Amino acid sequence: MSHISVTVFCGSSPGAAPDYLAAARALGEGLAARGMTLVFGGGNVGLMGATAGAALGAGGAVTGIIPDFLRAREVEFPGLTELIVTDTMHTRKRRMFARADAFVVLPGGLGTLDELMEILTWKQLGRHTKPILLIDIRGWASRVAALIDGVIEDGFARPSARELIEVVPDVAAALARLETYSESVNGASSLGNL
């Protein structure tokens, strides 16, 4: 299996049900077990901190990318493999994008939706072909996909927009897709879709 870096977008809050934190920890552990580098928002809070803590605890490589003004608010995660401090949120997103071979999206709030929509738009515009996996914990990803379906039905996007993301039922399915993807790009310099 080739080494890939996976950027994970997820909530800076833990969510209202224990399933969310359990999924975040399972994802972090799973990425580490497969030798995949986790790239995340750099904070030690919510699902973000749980994913990173689990990856580090399992011996994984973890890169945090955080804007300077959020270092105190999100309580910068200590002991990361690498910490990158940016000047703005936009620079943070660009750096997270540049480091990613693939994206995984766990439930989250407005910031998570912002990150998802930006990389989704970039993919629609042909700026990348990296896979975008949404993990459907407690129906969260299905609701996001339904929003995209509504945009298509209302004539604001082509039907092909729905193909830009893949909703997977759980962390195990996401990790299996990442393994398949990693194997398919072994040694490739240009990464494609799953």
How does pLDDT run across 159-184, given as a tens digit for each residue?
A: 999 999 999 999 999 999 999 998 88
Listing DSSP states for 97-149 in one string gives: HHH-SEEEE-S--HHHHHHHHHHHHHHHTTS----EEEE-GGGHHHHHHHHHH
When pLDDT is cut at 50, 70 and 90, the band that residue 1 belongs to is very low
Angle, alpha carbons 88-93-95 (nearest 5°): 95
Q: Which two tokens stand for residue 136?
A: 């459907």
- Per-residue confidence band for 186, with pLDDT thresholds at 50, 70 and 90: low
Beta strands per DSSP E along the chain: 5-9, 37-40, 62-67, 82-86, 102-105, 132-135, 166-168
Kindly report the pTM of this predicted structure.
0.93
What the chain holds in terms of domains, given with CATH numbers, is 5-184 (3.40.50.450)
Q: What is the pLDDT of residues 17-60, one digit of tens each?
A: 999 999 999 999 999 999 999 999 999 999 999 999 999 999 99
At residue 73, the pLDDT reads: 77
50 near 168, Cβ under 8 Å? no
Q: Report which of 191, 130, 125 is spatially closest to residue 166, judged by C-alpha positions.
A: 130
The C-alpha angle 51, 62, 113, rounded to 5 degrees, equals 50
pLDDT digits (tens, 9 = 90+) for 90-133: 999 999 999 999 999 999 999 999 999 999 999 999 999 999 99
